[in-house]
Structure 1
Amino acid sequence: MNSIPFITVEGPIGVGKTSLAKLLSEYFQYELLKEIVEENPFLGKFYENIDEWSFQTEMFFLCNRFKQLNDTRDHYLSKNIPVVADYHILKNLIFAKRSLQDNDLQKYVRIYEVLTEDLPMPNIIIYLHASLDTIMARIKKRDRDIEKNISPLYLEQLASDYDIVMNDFKKNNPHIPVLDFNGDTLDFVQNKQDLVKIIDTIKETLNIGAFKHESTKKI
């Protein structure tokens, strides 16, 4: 891999994306890009009534992620500063296709294609996935007010959507490594060895010794 590392962590709600992105950012000394979630003024209403608030919710996320990725390119990647993010812009389509009605979805996809045509894209994806029981337990543990009305059925459908999209991504983008990790069997927050396993896989994939930004700290 010849370009500067741009790692993204993806997966369904509650699977641990932000926690892992933070740990990787600290270990590899990479810049951390975190998505805006709780700042979305429509999200709580969305979980209460998906049909009514889906378009506003998805457009807010799309516009904010567009701005974040533009800034990431200008302030970090263009200066050869590696980045690890807790999302991939592709997630916008996953959520939109699950929640938007056909007419709104068509409009949304057109806007998405225009906004993302020249955005920087990650050169490695970490895909976290887990069972519904694990996801529900982690959502309950973090106890966010905006997630208290989230439907288990919605979460289950979303996890299935992620599996389909990520499998398709692997087939259509063989040049971009996708590293799969099962959240049911790995606890990288509480178990040091699980985190080491993930870090070692990333190092091997990125051929880390080839980069200037290889300074790391002990776990």
Structure 2
Amino acid sequence: MARKKFIAVAGNIGAGKTELTSFLCRKYDLTPYFEPNDQNPYLAPFYKDMKTWAFRSQIFFLTHKFRLHRELERHSGTVLQDRTIYEDAEIFAKNLHRQRFIDRRDWQTYRELYETIAQALSPPDLMIYLRCPVQTLRERIRLRGRSMEKDIPVAYLKRLNALYEEWFSNYKMSPVLVLSTDKLDYLTNLVDRVDLFRQIEKYL
């Protein structure tokens, strides 16, 4: 590769981000940066009581994603990130605010912090958006069996999908590659795999 690149993988819960990140990192010998879900002490209580824990959980993610982003900027080679700091603010935190789980005062504080952080960061060279219908998301969430995710409401997933579409309709920071992951089988289908590599390599 001519120079180091920053590739980001975006998408809803269960869209296939971690699987694609791992697959591309093996194929192209890239360094992966994964979402710090397992480190978030607020995540399990958040799924049980969103109003109490929403703001605190989002501040945790914002802090840790900022640290991760700065770390990947310093990395000498091409990196691939599973869910970006931008999604935390534009999708997840915004959804919680719209649902009144984050009140107006806390939302203003959060947005000021996020916008200050975002101005200091280098955007991705390529954003890969994994588009996936809610029915497929639910099935994948069920199959992977994470206890904290099993009771996620369908309406919550629908709202997140709508926010992803809204965000990407105005996204201008980098080129975007949209993959419909309910129809894409790059693990076992050779045609899908070759097509995926061809699209990715245009940006590498």
Q: TM-score, normalised by structure 2?
A: 0.91
Equivalent-residue separation in structure 2 for 1:52 and 1:3 (angstroms): 45
Q: 2:88 matched to 1:92?
A: yes
Deviation at 1:38, TM superposition (A): 2.3
Deviation at 1:34, TM superposition (A): 0.8
Structure 1 residues without counterparts, runs of 5 or longer: 209-219
Structure 2 residues without counterparts, runs of 5 or longer: 97-101
- In terms of mean alpha carbon deviation, does 21-30 or 195-204 score higher? 195-204
Equivalent-residue separation in structure 2 for 1:130 and 1:160 (angstroms): 11
User: 1:203–1:162: structure 2 CA closer, same or farther, 3 Å change rule?
Assistant: same
Q: 2:184 matched to 1:186?
A: yes
Equivalent-residue separation in structure 2 for 1:113 and 1:3 (angstroms): 28
State the secondary structure of the residue aligned to 1:38. helix
Equivalent-residue separation in structure 2 for 1:40 and 1:124 (angstroms): 27
Deviation at 1:62, TM superposition (A): 0.6
Percent identity, please.
31
Q: Which residue of 2 aligns with 1:202?
A: 200
Q: Which residue of 2 aligns with 1:29?
A: 29
State the secondary structure of the residue aligned to 2:170. helix
Equivalent-residue separation in structure 1 for 2:61 and 2:140 (angstroms): 22
Equivalent-residue separation in structure 2 for 1:160 and 1:146 (angstroms): 23
Deviation at 1:195, TM superposition (A): 2.9
Structure 1: 4+ residue segments shifted above 6 A: none
Deviation at 1:85, TM superposition (A): 0.9
Contact in 2 for aligned 1:33/1:83 (Cα 8 Å) = yes
Equivalent-residue separation in structure 2 for 1:191 and 1:52 (angstroms): 45
Q: Which residue of 2 aligns with 1:215?
A: none
Contact in 2 for aligned 1:134/1:183 (Cα 8 Å) = no
Question: Deviation digits for residues 67-108 of structure 1, max 9, x if unmatched?
Answer: 11111122x1xx3x1111111211111111101222211110
Count of paired positions: 198
1:158 maps to a residue whose letter is L
Question: Deviation digits for residues 126-176 of structure 1, max 9, x if unmatched?
Answer: 00011110000000111011112211110111011001101110xx34xx2
Q: Which residue of 2 aligns with 1:12?
A: 12
User: 1:86–1:41: structure 2 CA closer, same or farther, 3 Å change rule?
Assistant: same
Equivalent-residue separation in structure 2 for 1:87 and 1:23 (angstroms): 15
The correspondence of residues 103-118 of structure 1 with structure 2, limited to 5 A, is 103-118=105-120
User: 1:158–1:29: structure 2 CA closer, same or farther, 3 Å change rule?
Assistant: same
The correspondence of residues 8-157 of structure 1 with structure 2, limited to 5 A, is 8-74=8-74, 76=75, 79=76, 81-93=77-89, 94-99=91-96, 100-157=102-159
Equivalent-residue separation in structure 1 for 2:187 and 2:51 (angstroms): 35
Deviation at 1:190, TM superposition (A): 4.2
Contact in 2 for aligned 1:38/1:146 (Cα 8 Å) = no
